[in-house]
Amino acid sequence: MSHDAPLAPATVTVAAGRPARTQGAAVNPPVVLSSTFVSQGVPAPGELLYGRIDADTWHPFEQVLGELEQSRHPALVFGSGMAAIAAALSLVPPGGRLVLPRHCYQVTLGYAADLSERQGVEVVLVDIDDTDAVLAALPGTSMLWVESPTNPMLEVADLPVLVEAAHAAGALVGVDNTFATPLVQRPLTVGADVVVHSVTKYLAGHSDVVLGAALADDDALHARLHAYRTLHGSIAGPFEVWLALRGLRTLALRVERAQANAAELARRLSAHPAVVAVRHPSLPDDPGYERAARLMDGFGSIIGLRPRGGAAGADAVIAALRLWVPATSLGGVESSLERRRRFATESLTVPEDLLRLSVGIEDVDDLWADLAAALDQL
């Protein structure tokens, strides 16, 4: 094997972003607690100056994520996924046109509504899995926003086709890659302009930090995202980024196990008599199956579940569970679930009885026993 061969993503997650291998050096990067750095005279490009502009504890995490997304630039870490999304959506000019999936993270939709109110941005909602409908919405668009699979409906977009058509229409393409992770989908490699993550979810993976990241290949776009972060001060604390890097080291193992668990649970759920519908792109009859199999390196580990008995049935399932955690976030090592329509702000086209399951890395039979017992009582 050549020493120059590109490393597999699972290896990158472990090996990238380490300190130089000098005798006695720490194998992990340090947490540097300093708001300011020694500097006099005219600063050289890239010189560390001040902790809102740049901080060395961010760099290893940004390097690993940049390599995983196969970006020309390191990632830019932000204080939350929403901070990264706000930075990406700042690329839509006042009065511009923003096309978004009608089912996507509800706070992204809320932010788009705010842009519409304050900056006259025309917001157009589409079914992101209906390629013809998206193409029809593109003329005059400043940015097409894609989540795939979508939160919480798990629709899968035909990303390469959408990117090509959006560019032909003069639109930028932003992709929220939180659900897939860069191990499963790398939107920049099919031409997306900006990729964002809620690092809070799979990348950090332990439900103990709130963080975000944004990436762009293009020099000018990368510079604008960086400038947004500095101007808005939407930065991350050094401890949080260090924790996220520690979590990121096991991403490949966690994603592999969680995806295997999710596919097995989706299969078993499909056969349970108290289940009205299951969505997981791994199921051969799922509307997203063909695209996910063609475009992604896995099927993700979020399941959409509609149990018998409507919203009350769904709430009864949550109440009966002992192992699964009722919680709003996702992507942690622990399995969790939520009925999304408990929020008045969730899209009304999301079924009232839809449970969004975030499958973790526990033993699959323990997860199934808990879920099956909760469904059996319906």
Give the active site residues: 52, 105, 176, 201
CA distance 97 to 90: 12
Cis, bond preceding 152 (omega within 30 deg of 0): yes
- 80 interacts with ligand PLP by CB under 6 A: yes
Stretch that binds ligand PLP, among 80-88, 231-239, 248-256, 290-298 (CB under 6 A): 80-88
Instruction: Report which of 135, 196, 127 is spatially closest to residue 156, judged by C-alpha positions.
Output: 127
Among residues 74, 187, 205, 212, which is the contact residue for ligand PLP, using CB under 6 A?
Answer: 212
Stretch that binds ligand PLP, among 11-19, 31-39, 74-82, 291-299 (CB under 6 A): 74-82
Q: How far is the CB of 32 from ligand PLP (least distance, A)?
A: 23
Among residues 17, 51, 74, 81, which is the contact residue for ligand PLP, using CB under 6 A?
Answer: 81
- 105 interacts with ligand PLP by CB under 6 A: yes
Q: Which residues contact 139 (CB under 8 A, 6 or more apart)?
A: 169
Beta carbons within 10 angstroms of residue 32's beta carbon: 15
Q: How far is the CB of 178 from ligand PLP (least distance, A)?
A: 4
CA distance 341 to 345: 8
Q: How far is the CB of 209 from ligand PLP (least distance, A)?
A: 9
CA distance 23 to 175: 42
Q: How far is the CB of 162 from ligand PLP (least distance, A)?
A: 17
Q: Do residues 251 and 119 make contact, with C-beta atoms less than 8 angstroms apart?
A: no
Q: What are phi and psi of 144, to 5 degrees?
A: -100, 125
CA distance 358 to 231: 35
Instruction: Report which of 194, 237, 156, 228 is spatially closest to residue 69, judged by C-alpha positions.
Output: 194
Q: How far is the CB of 87 from ligand PLP (least distance, A)?
A: 12
Q: Do residues 60 and 29 make contact, with C-beta atoms less than 8 angstroms apart?
A: yes
Stretch that binds ligand PLP, among 14-22, 60-68, 76-84, 342-350 (CB under 6 A): 76-84
Applying the rule CB under 6 A, the residues between 272 and 301 that interact with ligand PLP are none
- 210 interacts with ligand PLP by CB under 6 A: yes
- When CB distances to ligand PLP are compared, the closest residue is 81
Q: How many binding residues for ligand PLP (CB under 6 A)?
A: 13
Applying the rule CB under 6 A, the residues between 147 and 186 that interact with ligand PLP are 147, 151, 176, 178-179
Q: How far is the CB of 22 from ligand PLP (least distance, A)?
A: 36
Choose between 71 and 178: whose C-beta lies nearer to ligand PLP.
178
Choose between 71 and 200: whose C-beta lies nearer to ligand PLP.
200
- 194 interacts with ligand PLP by CB under 6 A: no
- 82 interacts with ligand PLP by CB under 6 A: yes
Residue for token pair 């540097």: 32
Choose between 156 and 375: whose C-beta lies nearer to ligand PLP.
156
Beta carbons within 10 angstroms of residue 190's beta carbon: 16
- 71 interacts with ligand PLP by CB under 6 A: no
Q: How far is the CB of 230 from ligand PLP (least distance, A)?
A: 19
Give how far the C-alpha of residue 117 lies from the chain's centroid of Cα atoms, to the nearest Å. 26
The CA-atom distances, in angstroms, between 288 and each of 93, 148, 154, 156, 300 are 32, 10, 8, 5, 12
Stretch that binds ligand PLP, among 8-16, 61-69, 77-85, 297-305 (CB under 6 A): 77-85
| DSSP class of 338 | E
Choose between 234 and 261: whose C-beta lies nearer to ligand PLP.
234
Q: Do residues 378 and 307 make contact, with C-beta atoms less than 8 angstroms apart?
A: yes
Q: Do residues 215 and 188 make contact, with C-beta atoms less than 8 angstroms apart?
A: yes
- 321 interacts with ligand PLP by CB under 6 A: no
Beta carbons within 10 angstroms of residue 249's beta carbon: 17
Q: Which residues bind to ligand PLP, rule: CB under 6 A?
A: 80-82, 105, 147, 151, 176, 178-179, 198, 200, 210, 212
